[in-house]
Amino acid sequence: MDGQADGTPSRLSVLRSSSFRIVALFAACCFICGMTVTALSGYRSLHSLTRQIHEAIANERDEALSGVSSRDVAHLTSAIRSAIRSDPTVYYLLQDAHGRTVAGNMRDLPRIDGPRHLSWTWFPLPPDGHPVVGQGQVLDDGGYFFVGMDGASLRSMRRDVWLTLVWSGGGFLLIGLGGGFVLSRLVLRRIETISQTARDIMRGDISRRIVLNATNDEFEHLAGSLNAMLDRNEAQIASIRQVTNDIAHDMRRPLARLGEQLDMAAEATAPQDRVRAITRSMACLDEALEIFSTLLKLAQIEADDRAPDPQRLPVADLLASLAGLYGPVAEDHGQMLVLVPPEGGLELDGNRVLLTQVLANLIENAINHSPAGTRITVTARRAGGKVVLAVADTGPGIPAHERERVFGKMVRLDGSRATPGTGLGLSMVRAIVRLHGGEIRLLDNAPHGLRCEVTMPATTGAHRNGW
């Protein structure tokens, strides 16, 4: 929160704080809901009591009128006097057409037909001052007949309802404030945990993560998503650092050779020696640029979590295009490239350019590292829900203890150092295969040679743009 110069939070900053807003919102909701329920309950109780009183009044009126043959003052007088003697708690009033009281236990009233609520009335002797709820009716001869009952119970209930609303409002407000304060502490404590983790990361501790409490609530899901994002960011940062280290390490050899060749060109006296030195310098520069480009592409592939622009690829077409491209190259080396046609309908989901590069690198390795007379076989088969692509040769192969090491960056075995290359081909192949959810293995090709197997998920269901 913003503070004043002395560090004390200003009133405006307190009102704008999330804690205050949560407390105020919770208290308001609690107050409104509680008061609504209490008011509806009080209204229902008052309505029920009022209905009961009016029904009782209607019964008394009907009973008085049912005992007479005509609804006029003359016939009702004796009935009203008898009713007062039998039940003096009920209010009766019978007036003639001139407004004079003929019978009853009430003083004169204005002639109003229908339900009436009187705030005061009294017995003739002594006065009681109770409110009256009753029903007035104009008679056939112009007289006026009124029946009422004591409304003190209704007034008392109305007062009790108002007192209940006042006290309940205070109680609901206190409960809302207390509950809102507790809720704000719980919510803001979780938010502060996330904020503290973010501050630690900004200070350089990129391995810091939000502690999960196994509550399986929204904050837990948010923390899990943030942790996954932080893991991804840390992996990308590590990848960038690794690329930087790889470039710094792997570029030293070609750059050192480039420097040597440039020194030789500068020191050469004969024109032909200078030309040869410059030509070798250009070759070293090309090698450095190739290594740099390959390292950047490899880092990009390793940082991705899915293949870009996936397509449904018929395996037979993919292998046929490579066989047509590398068949003549193998013949130039005195080798034989054989394509075994795969079964019909075999398909892969993936990026055509990247998967073509995988198979091209494996075929080129077999051609470049095998002697004349070598047979290179390219096959594809289905194995359960997988597609197994294989490039096998009858060349010298790779010792079993060296097969995992050759996937490292810039690794070249002693027997292949004279062959042109950067030592990044198999690193690139493994990165692409893993990007597509597959794996690569180097196996013996009995009786001799090497068999490279790439296992990839087969296409299932309708193709969708994206994985």
Give per-residue pLDDT as tens, 62-78. 888 887 888 888 888 88
Q: What six digits make up the tokens of 458?
A: 């087969």
More confident residue, 168 or 255: 168
Q: What six digits make up the tokens of 183?
A: 């809720």
Q: For 102-135, give one letter per residue: b (16+ CB within 10 A) or e.
A: bbbbbeebeeeeeebebeebeeeeeeeebbbbbb
Q: CA-to-CA distance for 41 and 172, rounded, in angstroms? A: 15
pLDDT given for residue 305 in this prediction: 66
- The per-residue pLDDT for range 281-320, each reduced to its tens digit, is 887 777 677 767 766 676 667 666 677 778 888 888 888 8
The runs of H, that is alpha helices, within 251-370 are: 252-267, 271-303, 315-332, 352-368
What number of other Cβ atoms are within 10 A of residue 205's Cβ? 11
For the chain, the average pLDDT equals 80
* Rounded percentage of the chain residues whose pLDDT exceeds 90: 10
Asked if pLDDT for residue 422 goes beyond 60, the answer is no
Asked if pLDDT for residue 230 goes beyond 80, the answer is yes
Asked if pLDDT for residue 11 goes beyond 50, the answer is no
- Cα 463 to chain center, whole Å? 27
Question: Which SS3 state, helix, strand or coil, does residue 96 take?
Answer: coil
Q: Which residue, among 184, 100, 202, 189, has the nearest Cα to 144 in the 3D structure?
A: 100
What number of other Cβ atoms are within 10 A of residue 257's Cβ? 17
Given a contact cutoff of 8 angstroms between Cβ atoms, the answer to whether 375 and 336 are in contact is yes
Q: What six digits make up the tokens of 176?
A: 């809302």
Given a contact cutoff of 8 angstroms between Cβ atoms, the answer to whether 415 and 353 are in contact is no
Amino acid at 386: K
- The per-residue pLDDT for range 104-147, each reduced to its tens digit, is 888 888 888 988 888 765 444 346 667 888 999 999 888 999 99
Given a contact cutoff of 8 angstroms between Cβ atoms, the answer to whether 289 and 280 are in contact is no
User: Residue 334: left (phi > 0), alpha (psi -120 to 50), or beta?
Assistant: left
Asked if pLDDT for residue 255 goes beyond 70, the answer is yes
Q: Which residue, among 134, 128, 51, 125, has the nearest Cα to 91 in the 3D structure?
A: 134
